[in-house]
Amino acid sequence: MDQAGFPALLEAARAGAEWAWSRLYADLAGPVLGYLRTRGAAEPEDLLGEVFVQVARNAGTFEGDYPAFRSWVFTVAHHRLVDERRYRARRPVEPGAIPDAALGMGDTEVEALAHLATGEVVALLGTLTPEQRDVLLLRIVGDMSVEDVARIVGRRPGAVKALQRRGLESLRRSLTSVTRAGTPTVTRAR
Amino acid sequence: MSDLNKRDVEALLGGRTPEGLEPLAALVERLRREASLSVDPATAKQHVAVAAAASREAPVPATVPGSTVRPLWRRRTVFAGLLSTIFGKVFAGAVALAAATAGAGTAGVLPDPVQEFFDGSHEIERLVEQVRLQEQDQLHLQDQTQLQDQTRDRDQLGEQTGTTNTTQQQQQQQQGQDDAPNTTQQQQQQQQGQDNGTANQGSTTTAAGYGYGYGYGPGEPGNTTSTTMQHQYGPGEPGGNTTTTQASYGPGEPGSGKP
């Protein structure tokens, strides 16, 4: 993304120019979709569309450069993901439906990670706690700062730093066990 | 295996490879690359169209550089946010009720009890003035009664001492009226008592005769009532008594207490 041309691009997007939204979508849709999917969104592509609609509606209130815009889009995506989780938690289970846990697919996020190209990465991310996964994905995939991540997840920057350090240590231990045994360890980190 | 230090963590998340952590750095890079999924072209086209339409429908904020005034839609949003709280609703209701009551009270269309309460200050002033006037009337009646009693006493005294010649009485009365310095002095004394205005209610000033001065207040227009009564007992001839009575009830001049 051309930093110098971002203000004009944002202005055109605010005016409703489709070419401007195509540029923004091309830059941001992939990482946002990957974040939504790895975080276990039920319908990640639908959620991605909702994220961009909300971004388009509120683009008039945004002020900042492209990194700030990218951080803001991930913030919207995270909030939409939390809303979807709450909605799914309130929705009653239909009678007769067999829970996923009973079929051996209890962790929706692990199942979502199976859509990734590499099974090894899926298995390794499955070893992290949800908080560690949130922080590491926002830091790595979203390319966000510690302060931005802290604001999104509602924690202090110090807590975010601790979570990312423990998450990386867990991945490191898992990699070591994979190297030794040849298969990834799926025990969840604590 | 030693724990990761702060520098290693920042290097890994920043895309660099710390020494001895090559496998972990490769994993982070794979995660960064593979987590960025490609979107189906048809879905992407639909998302872009919807986003562009949403941005066109969204209200456009003020774009004037340096403008400190919030756009109308933003002000509406802030006001709606304020109204969404219970305190905001109560405050807005109280303001609206006060404004409506004040307007209706000014127009005089409130129900009688409420209107009387609204006009309470004026009503109190009117009642105080009414009580004051009643007291004045009572004092006048008392004065008149005393004058009548005194006149009757003098007449009775005159009848007992002798016969009064009408002509002499008239002459004596004329002399008493012509006795200007005496009358002027009495009026001045009464005037002083009235102008004093402090403890002159019901005060009596007597020089050559009787003077009753009643002064009320510092003298608002029409609010001053003065009473001047003169009883002169002229030199006359023995057995002749002259009584002159002047009583005036006037509004007086504003602020001076002059009758």
Give the model's confidence band at B234: pLDDT under 50 very low, under 70 low, under 90 confident, else very high. very low
Partners of residue B39 in chain A, C-beta under 8 Å:
29-30, 33, 45, 48
Question: How many whole angstroms separate alpha carbon A76 and alpha carbon A55?
Answer: 7
B52–A18: do the CB atoms touch at under 8 Å?
A: yes
Of the candidates A16, A168, A179, which has its C-beta nearest B55's C-beta?
Answer: A16
Chain B residues whose CB is inside 8 A of the A137 CB are: 35
CB contact under 8 A, B39 and A175: no
Q: Yes or no: say if A30 and A70 are a contact pair by the CB < 8 Å rule.
A: no
The CA distance from B231 to B242, in Å, is 8
Q: Pick the more confident residue, B88 or B123.
A: B88
Segment A168-184 shows an average pLDDT of: 72
Query: For A98, which DSSP code?
Result: P
Name the percent of chain B lying above pLDDT 90. 1
Least confident of A124-128, B8-12, B69-73: B69-73
What ipTM was predicted for this assembly?
Answer: 0.74
Q: Alpha-carbon distance B41 to A20, whole Å? A: 17
Report the C-alpha gap between A53 and A71 in whole angstroms.
Answer: 16
Q: From residue B206, how far is each of B8, B139, B179, B240 by CA, in Å? A: 114, 19, 16, 21
Sequence letter at residue A94: E
Contact call for B49 and A18, based on CB within 8 A? yes
Instruction: Say whether A25 and B48 touch across the interface (CB within 8 A).
Output: yes
Q: Is the full-model pTM beyond 0.90?
A: no
Mean pLDDT lowest among A103-112, A113-122, A172-181, B28-37: A103-112
Q: Closest Cα to residue B12, out of A1, A130, A161?
A: A161
Which chain A residues are within 8 Å of B27, Cβ to Cβ?
121, 124, 171, 175
Dist CA A25 CA B45 (whole Å): 9
Cβ–Cβ contacts within 10 Å for residue B56, how many?
14
Q: How many residues does chain A have?
A: 190
H-state helical runs in A42-156: 44-58, 66-90, 108-113, 119-125, 130-140, 146-153
For chain B, say whether A86 makes contact (Cβ under 8 Å): no
Least confidently predicted of A173-177, B59-63, B149-153, B225-229: B225-229
Among B1, B35, B55, the residue with its CB nearest the CB of A14 is B55
Q: What is the pLDDT of residues B150-191, one digit of tens each?
A: 888 888 777 665 544 444 555 555 554 544 444 444 454 455
Looking at per-residue confidence, does B3 or A96 come out higher? B3
Within 8 A of A38 by CB-CB distance, chain B residues are 35
Token output for A164: 């990312």
